[in-house]
């Protein structure tokens, strides 16, 4: 029964995430058909008594077992970008998929609208079950960041939240302002034990995505040495009790 309840909860969460708020301002994609973007994904921390990837949460095998993930723009319909996705795996194989990224509503937030500025709403409020609310998310800043080829204006979003299962998440997003494409993503989480509901044991993780190549001139990952060092320092302050009895998985 508990497993059934958990599946119902997760299904409702996913359904809620797909329901777009009508009041959100429609955004305009900043990419063109034929553009492509190559990312490197890396799990830099995973501590748990359970396996990787875990049953619940944002982590997937692609976060740790790929050399790169390539997104090719194949179509644009209003505020939706159609991508074909290539997963180049460390075992020498490739697999393929598709992604329809809505720059106004999608919770993946691979892309946002072009030319957004500080204070603009990135995503509107989402309401789950009538009592749990994903808050509206707004750009914290539009800043100039240097990447290996150029200095480009970059939009920043920092967000921390607690979900209904008691899991705590911290997110850092950087998007190229002109294209709206994500150039850097960092996510740290302390995920609650959900074994009693058919899920898995608690875990602590950190994952990041970097844009390492693109067909769009001068769009690459910016120099984030400072922010990464700061976040590493913050992680070092996590109470030891949070990691008690958790094994460390070598990534």
| 190-207 pLDDT, tens digit each | 999 888 877 889 999 999
> Token digits for 82?
């159609």
Percent of the chain topping pLDDT 90? 56
Taken in order 68, 54, 84, 183, is the CA torsion positive or negative? negative
Percent of the chain topping pLDDT 70? 76
Which comes out higher in pLDDT, residue 150 or 63?
A: 63
Q: Is the pLDDT of residue 128 over 50?
A: yes
Q: Is the pLDDT of residue 22 over 60?
A: no
pTM: 0.81
Q: Is the pLDDT of residue 246 over 90?
A: no
Q: What is the mean pLDDT of the chain?
A: 81
Q: Is the pLDDT of residue 68 over 80?
A: yes
Q: Give the per-residue pLDDT at 243.
A: 36
* H or E, element range at 81: strand 80-89
Which comes out higher in pLDDT, residue 244 or 162?
A: 162
| 174-186 pLDDT, tens digit each | 999 999 999 999 9
Q: Give the per-residue pLDDT at 221.
A: 78
Which comes out higher in pLDDT, residue 169 or 70?
A: 70
Flag the least confident range among 67-76, 106-115, 223-232.
Answer: 223-232
Nearest to 153 by CA among 235, 80, 222: 222
Average pLDDT over residues 117-140: 80
Flag the least confident range among 104-108, 158-162, 224-228.
Answer: 224-228
| 210-233 pLDDT, tens digit each | 999 999 988 877 766 555 544 444
What is d(CA 135, CA 22) in angstroms, rounded to the nearest whole number? 15
Terminal alpha carbon distance of the chain: 35
Contacts of 40 (CB under 8 A, 6+ apart): 67, 68, 69, 209, 210, 212
């Amino acid at each position: 029964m508990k497993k059934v309840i958990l599946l119902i909860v997760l299904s409702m969460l996913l359904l809620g995430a797909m329901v777009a708020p009508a009041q959100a301002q429609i955004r305009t994609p900043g990419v063109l058909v034929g553009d492509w973007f190559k990312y490197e994904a890396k799990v830099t921390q995973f501590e748990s008594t359970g396996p990787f990837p875990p049953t619940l949460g944002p982590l997937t095998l692609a976060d740790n077992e790929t050399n790169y993930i390539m997104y090719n723009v194949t179509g644009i319909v209003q505020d939706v970008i159609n991508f074909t996705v290539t997963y180049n795996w460390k075992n020498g194989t490739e697999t393929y998929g598709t992604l329809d990224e809505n720059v106004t509503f999608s919770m993946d937030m691979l892309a946002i609208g072009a030319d957004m500025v500080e204070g603009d709403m990135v995503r509107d409020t989402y309401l789950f079950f009538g009592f749990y609310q994903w808050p509206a998310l707004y750009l914290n800043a539009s800043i100039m960041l240097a990447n290996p080829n150029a200095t480009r204006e970059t939009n920043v979003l920092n967000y921390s939240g607690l979900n209904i299962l008691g899991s705590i998440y911290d997110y850092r997003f950087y998007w190229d302002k002109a294209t709206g494409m994500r150039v850097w993503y960092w996510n740290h989480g302390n995920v609650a034990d959900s074994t009693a509901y058919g899920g898995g044991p608690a875990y602590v993780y950190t994952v990041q995505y970097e844009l390492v190549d693109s067909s769009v001139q001068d769009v690459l990952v910016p120099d984030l040495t400072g922010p990464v060092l700061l976040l590493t320092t913050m992680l070092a302050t996590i109470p030891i009790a949070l990691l008690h009895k958790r094994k460390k998985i070598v990534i």
